[in-house]
Amino acid sequence: QCLLSGSWRSDSGCRMVVSVLGKDGRFSGSYLPGPVANNPEVLTSPLEGFQQDAGLVQQPTFSFIVRWQLQARMTAFLGQCYVSTNGEETLHTLWLLREAADSPTEDWKATR
């Protein structure tokens, strides 16, 4: 069974900590992007999301949003938690980053 509670690290060194996982699938925690060792402006940012009922599905889907500290941007993540035959949990995700645009004409370049 795959539960998101705990600490996770991506291949690129990003860190996610899920500190609260409710019975209804809601969770919250914090997120820190990977290559930040030399950038003091990057802070740990809060995240909030939902996980599919792990009692119904062994490898549940999930989604969460990171609200970046001191920046006018948010990132939405959508993924699934997989459990290998040896019991190792792995998260696979897709993400979209949205920055604030100055005007509707600048909207085209605000989402990555």
Per-residue pLDDT tens digits for 8-53: 998 888 899 998 888 889 999 999 887 765 566 667 899 999 999 8
Q: Is the confidence at residue 56, as pLDDT, over 90?
A: no
Please report whether residue 1 resides in a domain: no
Rounded Cα distance between 111 and 83, Å, is 31
Structural domain range at position 56: 6-106
Say how far residue 90 (Cα) sits from the centre of its chain. Answer: 13
Number of domains making up the chain: 1
Q: Any idea what the CATH number is for the domain that residue 19 is in?
A: 2.40.128.30
Predicted pLDDT of residue 39? 66
Rounded Cα distance between 71 and 88, Å, is 35
Predicted pLDDT of residue 55? 79
pLDDT tens digits, one per residue of 71-89 = 789 999 999 999 999 989 9
Please report whether residue 36 resides in a domain: yes
